[in-house]
Structure formats: structure tokens, C-alpha cells
Copies of this chain bind each other. A is one copy, B any other.
């Protein structure tokens, strides 16, 4: 099934006439338009919408500034303007002909209330997340490219390690390498913590400076082509502690065991249990990755979701002690009989 067919099935199951998607991941998934995520809502426009009717007609509803990249029909309204601002009015006008008098299926946690005033709607957020879990060839290619950005960032981190450098100095080099590889700015969610901060699982880079023998934990989640990459490595400046060496060995072993077990038919909860039997850690074993940074299939305790070919998951076992923490993460595509690791970064401590 194509992405559009998957979305149509969601619309049918909801017994609605028109799908109005507003989550940036779903909008990019359906229309190809990435949108702009890095600085919050625009004063000139509402975030783009993807509108799909029961006959399969797909329209991106966006301001003229945000319609780039659409691989479908577009319905635009003015963006940047010298006239009085009315982003909601503009979006309503562009949307109205597509939804008037119809029963809507929406992402109710994303779509603005002012766009649905008076319309009957049903929430299909969960169904769309499930529909997005199986990736097609274009999405897999996009995910490979996004993961390659992670690889570039992790390599830059290793090259940048030096005593006295701050987390923010490392961060600047990592980010520069990612954007140089992409040839453009990219949104980037990340943990970058050093020394005792690694015991706290994650966090944003700060002014703390690195000392000999300390760890740096770096988890990079850049967005390119409408999908997010993901990778984590933990690296030592100089000689790591005995705890760090042992913890790192156990994390890598657990990751390898999970990748060995990753194949169609496995329950996500069983994959989680396999890792959690080896390590005790406070977060998920992994998660689907694509239009969202964390999506189906979630590799969490008790999940009955069965892995299927075409799913793409990030697996990220970790161990966090009193003074230090370690996490390693790779992204893998579930194939017909196993998996294909998309990550190419160095996992060595």
C-alpha cells in the first residue's frame, strides 16, 4: 500500500469524509512538504495541513511561504505580508472549500480549534501513527540520509574531544558537521552531556567543561526530508573508568542481542524484555523513528505490537550508575528475515 492508501484506510475506518492532518510528521509523510520546525509558530501563518478526501484527492493547505516541496495539489493563502495579520483567517479560507459540510477525521492534539469551528470530527491520531509505522522505499531512503547525518555528527564529536572544551563547544562542532553534510540547516533534538551529567540519562549541552577520563554521552536526532534520524554513542576522553568499560560492554552486547532478535513477528514487548533481562535502565529499549522522533513500534515493556518488515526502529540500551552513564543506539530496518542496520557510526567507548 502507498502512503496515501494507508491514510485512506484510516479515513474509511473512521467513517469520515475528509482527513485533516496537522502533525508535521503526518503532513510531510503525506505531502512531501517538510515545513519549518525550528522556531515555533510563524506570526504570519498556521502550520501546514494535509487534507485527503475519500476519493484520494490530496491537498497541502499552507501559506505561500510554506508550500515548498509539496508533491500534491496545494491550496495557499498569503504568508508574509504588509497587510493586517490574520493567519487563522487565511488558513480557514484555504481549508473551507475542502471540508465544508463534511465529517472530518483529524489529529485532534495538533489541529487548531479555530479551523474546525462547528464541524463534526473524530480523532485519528493513533490510527495514523500505526499507519505510518511501515516505511516505503522513499521513506527508507530518507531515513538512511537522516541517519547519515547522525554518523557525521558522531564522527565530529570524536574528533572534537579535548580537555577543557565545554559541552557547548563540542555541540557547535557536532552541529556544524551535521549541517555541512546536509548542506543546509536542520532541526536537531539532542542530548549532549559530560562527566557526572551522563548519569542523568540525557540533557542539553551546557557550559560544563570536559576533563581527562570523563565520558560524553551524545544522542543526535536530526530531521531531513521530513524524517528524523537517531543515534547515540558514549565516548571517553582518555582512559575511562572500569565501571564505564564494563557498562559499555554490557550495553553493546545488549544492543547486538536485540539486533539479532529483530525480525518480523517478534513482539515489541519481548524485544524489550530481552534487553531488560540484561540491563536495568529507566527508559524504553527503543522506538519507531520516521515523521516523529518517537513513534510506533514502541519497544517498551508489555507491548503486544508485532514487528513487521518495513518498520524502522531505534534501539538504545543504556546503563546509568551513580557517577556515570552509558548508552549506545543504532537504527535498523526490519527486513523479511531479520534486520538491516542503517547506522554507520562508531560505537567504541
**Contacts from A to B (Cβ < 8 Å):** 23-25, 37-41, 43-44, 46, 80, 82-83, 85, 87-88, 91, 106, 108-117, 121, 123, 125, 166, 168-169, 171-172, 175-176, 179-180, 183-185, 187-189, 204-207, 221, 223, 283-284, 292-295, 298, 300-301
Contacts and interface: CB of A to CB of B under 8 A. Distances in A.
A189 B113 CA distance: 26
A126 B88 CA distance: 11
Contact of A43 (B112, B295, B301): B295
Number of copies: 2
Nearest to A204: B185
Contact of A176 (B87, B108, B121, B168): B168
B206 A184 contact: yes
13 contacts: A40-B187, A41-B109, A83-B300, A91-B109, A106-B113, A108-B117, A109-B114, A166-B180, A168-B176, A169-B176, A172-B172, A172-B175, A183-B207
B37 A39 contact: yes
A116 B106 CA distance: 14
Contact of A113 (B116, B168, B184, B298): B116
B112 A189 contact: no
A50 to B, nearest CB: 15
Given A109-B112, A207-B183, A300-B82, A189 B223 contact: no
B43 A40 contact: no
Given A112-B108, A113-B116, A284 B82 contact: yes
